[in-house]
């Protein structure tokens, strides 16, 4: 289901992106990025308490970029 089928944006992103391949428009690491930011907010921006969240995000991005390279797609410019 895309935004054209949900113009008001009432469905969670996970449902909308389900079954779609990662591209420059769909970031499979969006959830890890959000969890990193939430950790910072929850811990009063003490980065030392969020190392695990940052590491999860970095690993997700590494795997995504590697899979794009393997699939013949260039890495995303702002990745």
Instruction: Please write the tens of the pLDDT for every residue from 15-48.
Output: 666 666 656 667 889 999 999 999 999 999 999 9
Number of independent structural domains in the chain: 1
* Residue of 50 and 25 predicted with greater confidence: 50
Looking at the domain assignment, is residue 13 inside a domain? no
CB 79 within 8 A of CB 65: yes
Alpha helices in 1-79 (DSSP H): 13-17, 30-42, 51-70
Q: State yes or no: pLDDT of 78 exceeds 60.
A: no
Looking at the domain assignment, is residue 37 inside a domain? yes
Looking at the domain assignment, is residue 35 inside a domain? yes
Looking at the domain assignment, is residue 57 inside a domain? yes
Looking at the domain assignment, is residue 61 inside a domain? yes
**What does the block give as tokens for 58?**
């970095």
Distance linking the first and last C-alpha atoms of the chain: 25
Return the sign of the alpha-carbon dihedral for residues 47, 62, 77, 25.
negative
Instruction: Return the pLDDT at 26.
Output: 77
Looking at the domain assignment, is residue 7 inside a domain? no
Q: What is the extent of the structural domain holding 38?
A: 22-70
- C-alpha of 15 from chain center: 14
pTM: 0.61
Q: State yes or no: pLDDT of 7 exceeds 70.
A: no
Instruction: Return the pLDDT at 31.
Output: 93
């Amino acid at each position: 289901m895309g935004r054209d089928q949900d113009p008001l944006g009432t469905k969670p992103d996970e449902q909308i992106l389900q079954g779609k391949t990662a591209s420059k428009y769909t970031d499979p690491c969006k959830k890890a990025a959000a969890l990193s930011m939430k950790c910072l907010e929850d811990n009063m921006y003490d980065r030392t308490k969020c190392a695990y969240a940052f590491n999860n995000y970095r690993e997700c991005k590494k795997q995504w970029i590697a899979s794009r390279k393997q699939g013949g797609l260039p890495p995303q410019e702002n990745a």
